[in-house]
A and B are shown apart, each in its own frame.
Chain A
Amino acid sequence: AQTVTQSQPEMSVQEAETVTLSCTYDTSESDYYLFWYKQPPSRQMILVIRQEAYKQQNATENRFSVNFQKAAKSFSLKISDSQLGDAAMYFCAYRRPSGSRLTFGEGTQLTVNP
């Protein structure tokens, strides 16, 4: 079974600085999808970024980018120019290409200090 591990329960960053959230996963599949979701206090999970394992290029979405290391099974999220609105719980998630369910990590609570 696939597992996703987020080893940082909490992280903090100063406004306008850069922060990196870590995620590792375990799978025997060669093709799969990885995601970062953001969950603010409103509870709604919001997709931040998505990465297909067959793509070597790291995904980017504005201030958000990933460092995907397939051999190391590592998928970290970098947030540049952090904003107060970035404060939330961040979840890393895995999905098999033929499967439907998402497997989530335990989450990292990000605090942004003004």
Chain B
Amino acid sequence: GAGVSQTPSNKVTEKGKYVELRCDPISGHTALYWYRQSLGQGPEFLIYFQGTGAADDSGLPNDRFFAVRPEGSVSTLKIQRTERGDSAVYLCASSLTYQETQYFGPGTRLLVL
């Protein structure tokens, strides 16, 4: 079956701009996660959705970051007033339930100039 997909694959933007990153999880997976991976480091947790609600958003670095999952499937990570330090690979993962193995998408590489 289809895996987790993320669009766009790459995104280049200018400092101060707004960006949206999309994640399409595996069909039927109720749990969805966002991670951020800076160059040369392991992924860091941002936010976790169970269904439509954000069950844990403690990893979001500040209020410029926001994520939604309105219908319990596709999720969008939104970053306002982007800064150069936001440049990273943003990974999305999904799992059947929050206790099951997480399966990752290919990520979106964000570059803020």
Question: Interface residues, chain A, CB within 8 Å of chain B?
Answer: 4, 35, 37, 42-47, 50, 91, 93, 97, 100-107
Contacts of B99 in A (CB 8 A): 97
Residue pair B106, A100 in contact (C-beta under 8 Å)? no
Of the 9-residue stretches B20-28, B39-47, B61-69, which lies at the interface with chain A? B39-47
How many chain B residues sit at the interface, stated as a range, is 20 to 34
Residue pair A100, B43 in contact (C-beta under 8 Å)? no
4 nearest A-B pairs in the assembled complex, by CB-CB distance = A104-B42, A45-B104, A101-B45, A100-B98
Residue pair A44, B48 in contact (C-beta under 8 Å)? no
Residue pair B107, A43 in contact (C-beta under 8 Å)? yes
Contacts of A105 in B (CB 8 A): 42
Given A44-B106, A47-B101, A50-B101, 7 more A-B residue pairs with CB atoms under 8 Å apart are A43-B89, A43-B91, A45-B43, A45-B93, A102-B35, A104-B42, A107-B41
Known: A97-B99, A100-B56. A44 touches B42 (CB 8 A): no
Known: A100-B48, A101-B33, A104-B44. A44 touches B55 (CB 8 A): no
